[in-house]
Amino acid sequence: MRLPVRLVRFAFGLLYGPFAPIYDWVSRTFFLGQWVHWQQAALLEAEGRILEIGSGTGALQQVARDRGLDWTALERSPQMIREARRRLGSARLVRADARALPLRGGTFDRVVSTFPSEYILSPTVLAEIARVLQPDGAILVVPLGVLRPDGMFGRLLDRFHLLVYGDAPPPHGIAGPAGVTWTACWVDSPHGRALLLIGRR
Ligand SMILES: C[S@@+](CC[C@H](N)C(=O)[O-])C[C@H]1O[C@@H](n2cnc3c(N)ncnc32)[C@H](O)[C@@H]1O
């Protein structure tokens, strides 16, 4: 059984908007502290000039900055941007919609997206990603993580995740952008694993 999709969308809309101040608490608590590890799966192949889209509260951008990576983040929600600014102070952070990236073509070696919502399936967004990427660039997407259901709390959370996300098989790629071939690999974390999709031309 899965909760109605419209209800789930509505709840996530609240979490990315007025409830953004509790986003980190929610993702930490409901995924047993694995969320930050899963986000960092995207850093395995991160090099050169990097654009993160849908960057949320800036948690991955903070890790990237600490590692000295050349990182620009882009996020649509003003509340998420506010949280990210609180965390990062000054940082390369753009408020924009991924369907119309206000960025020059061919600028980035990598485009990163962790736990994207449906925008990552939009042909318009995928065309925009292709436009800003260098010809030999790569797209790094972490679409999901799964907990190892250790203990009673872990098993309960597992049930809860099924209610919210359903039990669709993990994707092995994304249909687009044109000319991009996807590979998939699992990256272990202390209490689970994250799926990393890598798209290359
Ligand atoms: C599930 S959250 C993931 C946030 C962060 N990447 C993480 O790993 O926690 C999805 C994020 O994508 C943002 N988003 C949704 N649609 C977007 C769009 N069209 N353009 C830019 N950001 C978008 C939301 O505001 C939200 O912050």
CATH of the domain at 55: 3.40.50.150
Residue 82 has pLDDT above 80, yes or no: yes
Q: What is the pLDDT of residue 40?
A: 98
For residue 178, being part of any structural domain is answered with yes
Q: Measuring CA to CA, which residue among 76, 72, 59 is closest to residue 23?
A: 59
Span 104-108, average pLDDT:
97
Instruction: Check: pTM over 0.85? Answer yes or no.
Output: yes
**What pLDDT digit, counting tens, does each position of 6-53 carry?**
988 999 999 999 999 999 999 999 999 999 999 999 999 999 999 999
Cα–Cα distance measured from residue 30 to residue 62, given in angstroms and rounded to the nearest whole number: 21
Contact yes or no for 143/121 (Cβ under 8 A): no
What's the number of domains the chain is made of? 1
Q: Is ligand 1 within 6 A of the CB of residue 115?
A: yes
Range of the domain at 119: 33-148+171-200
Q: Is ligand 1 within 6 A of the CB of residue 9?
A: no
For residue 51, being part of any structural domain is answered with yes
Q: Is ligand 1 within 6 A of the CB of residue 16?
A: yes
For residue 93, being part of any structural domain is answered with yes
Q: Which atom of ligand 1 is nearest to the CA of 116?
A: 10
For residue 4, being part of any structural domain is answered with no
For residue 163, being part of any structural domain is answered with no
**What pLDDT digit, counting tens, does each position of 49-68 carry?**
999 999 999 999 999 999 99
